[in-house]
Structure 1
């Protein structure tokens, strides 16, 4: 479960508009207290939906500044919208002084910025307009009040409307209201959690839905209680959608996206050049995937319906750039041209591991591909990820297949057998307690790709000082040479080695103790388990995955050094953790052989599984922490 051990739990648990994220999450635990830089006093948002699915969003927002450090950020407020399909305006903005005076933002304090192409040409990346208001004479204790409106000229999906609004349970809110007005005949699915839902009323020929939320005494973050994955029904928020199910989202996306993935003559020729003489379908798929991943860089599409419709493949190829939809579309077109079936799939790019009951488009905000002939999911947008693997946070997640007979599916769990490491260290200890040696490391799986990318990005200066600085981080004074190995390519194996000299390897004087451990950290080090049982077991699910690690240490001792005590050889077998350690004296010193297999079979671990893992890891940690007691003499 190395992910659970290495990474802190995610604390970003809400969907929200920019205003809520920027204002709510900066606030602390209790409204009005001086340890909160900003408090949201009022947030009223109204969505007036038309029959074609377009909507007008009107927001009234007021937040109070309680700390000097928040003044600079609070003095400006911006809205942004797509110029081609939306119109926006800040209707009103003013500083509300502590004494009740209103200081309107003067016309000179507004700034308009619009992304556009040169000489009137259409832009490639973004056509967004940004309007910023600068608040006059804002001081601690004053409030900022803004009213803005954004009107859609064209809906993202004709005849459909969906949205998700979330509030942070850790931030103070005074009066938050969400109102959605839809034509009476428009069917609307809604889902609300930890908010006050008002009775539905009819007004001016529309059906009016309203939800209210207040949080004067916010929750305080507690790692044991709050760290981990939150379910949607645990978070305050509202979901609204005219989509009847996720299959209807798949059909709506397919209608606009799949025509773009049809192979053109240019795609046919490109695919033939990529695969060359290769005949095996799996290898052809790998070659095409690697070409897309390495050739296309990432560039978002913030132009009108480009938020949900891929660019034309020729545009993507000409610029060698595109967003996730563009990567997935080009990959599908190339695979089709090579005779390999593929599907585009929608997935949540955040920490949602269940689909909400109410189908909302923004909750499946990333696109990748599925190759049914190999039962394989791939994500060409996730750079450095080898073919056959996914990013850590894409395993065990629900997905929506586009254009497939069955739309809903789940990505597989990360296979612990694909994550492995072999380490061999030779170390020679001198009479004065210094040491020299070498260490070779071979890594397999996602960690290999991550380590290779890390090594490739090292500057020449960082590379030259890598061994010295890594040793220093462990309290050792030394130097050495890093051999980075092959840092190019997308294969799921990587090897590197280190030569080192350590002046103070033994720091216990004539009598002391030491551990058998690598001199530099590695992705799947067995020593990670030395403190595994000390990690608190949270009350929420965690991301997790297993690995297999083999380590061998050949340690040469000086003739004047005597080992008084060594760890005992052990063999432990459990439902999750298997561990074997063998310690033996040799003619020159000591040989240590360790093998650890974390057999975690899922990518999402319940608190119960984590508790059992900690229990089994405790025995491993005890063996790893056992010190080698030695005595040094003088000839």
Structure 2
């Protein structure tokens, strides 16, 4: 966990982006307008008015006043916004609700009952990534709501303390898929305080200085062309949409210095840390192997728990305390790993990244972009992240890859590698013997290496194999029985192998004449998903994310001896830019061997419409190939 879960971060309501078990949410953002549930879309509501003023004193403390009005046009919007949540930290901030009411279309008002209609509760957390903090939600329940009504809410957040002495950051995004009648931002700072501002797609309306203060104002409203179409996969709106970011950090090196000032003294190696480092590396002279062993121990033995009180979101615990407790968040785990490495004379630096969909550092040095810490080992040119618990040495989760990375020790901006075939591969091999009844006997082997194995490793670590098998059958819409077993689960640097045995009902129609497609069988990454994604997203206006895993699929399909095989599909070989796909079909008697390989030598996790358009013809050819059938009678 890093600072962004406490500091002000405005993101209006939108649909959640991609999520999976591999993305055990280890960070969160304090939002003013919180995420919509999946049943609520931008067309269901309109932000009629949003006035947001931030007054900063010389110590970097802020008084934030928000006045907003949201028109609710559907039952889905009422279900979402009828109980509105304001996030705050009860130790670092004071929250006052100044006004809350329902405004009917006829102009009448119904005020919120401040005693019986507002409730405080701790911010929800996940069991897989527990947190203990002073983060709270103030829930405001609006009465007598009907379609067409407007909720009006005004509140004030006052900083009691700052996370970084003398520093502030604010970040706003206005997703173009949402409608704004009028949104205004006012930033009031000491006149002698240098402030960096990155304002994109918003209009500066005033800038005045007087009485020792400088006041800047900005305005945004949805353009006359209207809102953009919904898009489920986008990078962060602050990367591509209208946004306002301001801070008084002098540069990203200043952010690094502020973080390191509170983290550096936690790295001291106690006798227990030194003894553990010696024990884990006993008999090993190779320095990279030493680093791998220390990394693997922390990844396997320090469970993720976040404890955030006071400045806890940005201050790690001491290495010896993390070792004694056997738990900690990202920065705690980096601290312990760095202490273990230092005990063996191996240099490492804490590096701040975004674990999410932010791929751009704003021009204004923005601490809120960072919400995760990983370790950088310059001797080996490797970034490592122990918090996933199951990744090989030198491999990051997808959400942390292809990201600007701020070295907290040096202040330099590094860059994590993108996901591609160099760090993520999936190979599946299936044999399906189809019986006279059309059911199939299945044997298979799945090999997953690098990032591609994250989801599967977490599933097999936390769930019994039978539960994993049942989940996979259900996910792929298959009926039958499946048994799974894994190999290499405890060896993080070896590919994860999964043995598969079972029966799949109704693989084909028997007797013929008929045709059978190569069935989509349980896996952790399919070529079909790539083709579908490209064809669905190619005309979308905003940049999204795309996986670069190398995928290889092999099938051996055997038909009953009573069947005559009439035709098999032709081979395919297509290339477009960074991608290449080839498939081969070979018949030997009643058996057809199918091999399909998708290579993606991607230089970035971000895919824009131009890139997808370049791939579109190849994706169409892939999609067509995947639908081709083996004809028999």
Same fold (TM over 0.5): yes
User: Does 2:338 align with 1:305?
Assistant: no
Paired residues of 1:349 and 1:365 also in contact (CA < 8 A): yes
Task: Please name the residue that 1:56 is paired with.
Answer: 63
Residues 244-287 of structure 1: CA distance to partner in whole angstroms, max 9, x if unpaired? 22111111211112222232333223333333433322222222
Task: Please name the residue that 2:152 is paired with.
Answer: 145
**Alignment partner of 2:347: what SS?**
coil
1:40-79 aligned at under 5 Å gives the runs 40-71=47-78, 74-79=81-86
Deviation of 1:592 after TM superposition, in Å, equals 1.6
Larger displacement relative to structure 2 (58-67 or 257-266): 58-67
- Going from structure 1 to structure 2, the CA distance change for 1:460 and 1:418 (only over 3 Å counts) comes to closer
Matched pairs, number = 601
- Going from structure 1 to structure 2, the CA distance change for 1:557 and 1:108 (only over 3 Å counts) comes to closer
Q: Distance in 2 between matches of 1:611 and 1:444?
A: 29
- Going from structure 1 to structure 2, the CA distance change for 1:407 and 1:89 (only over 3 Å counts) comes to same
- Going from structure 1 to structure 2, the CA distance change for 1:101 and 1:458 (only over 3 Å counts) comes to same
Task: Please name the residue that 1:120 is paired with.
Answer: none
Q: Distance in 1 between matches of 2:78 and 2:16?
A: 30
> Which is greater in Rg?
1
Paired residues of 2:251 and 2:364 also in contact (CA < 8 A): yes
Residues 374-407 of structure 1: CA distance to partner in whole angstroms, max 9, x if unpaired? 1001112234322221111222211111112x61
Task: Please name the residue that 1:121 is paired with.
Answer: none
- Going from structure 1 to structure 2, the CA distance change for 1:547 and 1:184 (only over 3 Å counts) comes to closer
- Going from structure 1 to structure 2, the CA distance change for 1:182 and 1:552 (only over 3 Å counts) comes to closer
Paired residues of 1:63 and 1:145 also in contact (CA < 8 A): yes
Task: Please name the residue that 2:229 is paired with.
Answer: 221
Paired residues of 1:478 and 1:503 also in contact (CA < 8 A): yes
Task: Please name the residue that 2:595 is paired with.
Answer: 594
- The partner residue of 1:341 within 325, 337, 347 is 347
**Alignment partner of 1:506: what SS?**
coil
Q: Distance in 1 between matches of 2:374 and 2:245?
A: 24
User: Does 2:381 align with 1:375?
Assistant: yes
**Alignment partner of 2:352: what SS?**
strand
Larger displacement relative to structure 2 (342-351 or 211-220): 211-220
Paired residues of 1:583 and 1:590 also in contact (CA < 8 A): no
Task: Please name the residue that 2:25 is paired with.
Answer: none
Paired residues of 1:89 and 1:131 also in contact (CA < 8 A): no
Residues 447-488 of structure 1: CA distance to partner in whole angstroms, max 9, x if unpaired? 2232232244445763575686577x25xx543433344544
User: Does 2:362 align with 1:360?
Assistant: no
User: Does 2:294 align with 1:281?
Assistant: no
Residues 132-157 of structure 1: CA distance to partner in whole angstroms, max 9, x if unpaired? 44445555554443332222233222
Q: Distance in 1 between matches of 2:577 and 2:296?
A: 37
- Going from structure 1 to structure 2, the CA distance change for 1:503 and 1:321 (only over 3 Å counts) comes to closer
User: Does 2:508 align with 1:506?
Assistant: yes
**Alignment partner of 1:496: what SS?**
strand
5+ residue gaps, structure 2, are 1-14, 20-27, 123-130
User: Does 2:406 align with 1:393?
Assistant: no
Paired residues of 1:250 and 1:403 also in contact (CA < 8 A): yes
Residues 109-135 of structure 1: CA distance to partner in whole angstroms, max 9, x if unpaired? 3667587xxxxxxxx932345544444
Q: Distance in 1 between matches of 2:586 and 2:101?
A: 77
Paired residues of 2:582 and 2:598 also in contact (CA < 8 A): no
Deviation of 1:534 after TM superposition, in Å, equals 4.7
User: Does 2:197 align with 1:190?
Assistant: yes
- Going from structure 1 to structure 2, the CA distance change for 1:241 and 1:209 (only over 3 Å counts) comes to same
Task: Please name the residue that 1:629 is paired with.
Answer: 631
Paired residues of 1:310 and 1:326 also in contact (CA < 8 A): yes
- The partner residue of 1:267 within 262, 266, 273 is 273
Paired residues of 2:395 and 2:423 also in contact (CA < 8 A): no
Deviation of 1:504 after TM superposition, in Å, equals 3.1
**Alignment partner of 1:612: what SS?**
helix
Q: Distance in 2 between matches of 1:71 and 1:574?
A: 46
Paired residues of 1:46 and 1:59 also in contact (CA < 8 A): yes
- Going from structure 1 to structure 2, the CA distance change for 1:447 and 1:202 (only over 3 Å counts) comes to same
Task: Please name the residue that 2:31 is paired with.
Answer: 18
Paired residues of 1:470 and 1:520 also in contact (CA < 8 A): no
Paired residues of 2:36 and 2:80 also in contact (CA < 8 A): no
User: Does 2:247 align with 1:241?
Assistant: yes
Residues 61-85 of structure 1: CA distance to partner in whole angstroms, max 9, x if unpaired? 3334444454465454454433443
- Going from structure 1 to structure 2, the CA distance change for 1:131 and 1:437 (only over 3 Å counts) comes to closer
Paired residues of 2:52 and 2:185 also in contact (CA < 8 A): yes
Larger displacement relative to structure 2 (307-316 or 49-58): 307-316
- Going from structure 1 to structure 2, the CA distance change for 1:207 and 1:495 (only over 3 Å counts) comes to same
Q: Distance in 1 between matches of 2:310 and 2:35?
A: 24
1:305-454 aligned at under 5 Å gives the runs 305-404=311-410, 407-454=412-459
Q: Distance in 1 between matches of 2:628 and 2:38?
A: 44
Paired residues of 2:197 and 2:244 also in contact (CA < 8 A): yes
Q: Distance in 2 between matches of 1:24 and 1:433?
A: 42
Task: Please name the residue that 1:521 is paired with.
Answer: 522
- Going from structure 1 to structure 2, the CA distance change for 1:318 and 1:146 (only over 3 Å counts) comes to farther
Q: Distance in 2 between matches of 1:163 and 1:503?
A: 56
Deviation of 1:577 after TM superposition, in Å, equals 4.4
**Alignment partner of 1:451: what SS?**
helix
Residues 12-34 of structure 1: CA distance to partner in whole angstroms, max 9, x if unpaired? 9xx986223358999755xxxxx
C-alpha RMSD of matched pairs (Å): 3.6
Residues 297-326 of structure 1: CA distance to partner in whole angstroms, max 9, x if unpaired? 333343222222223334433433322222
Paired residues of 1:532 and 1:618 also in contact (CA < 8 A): no
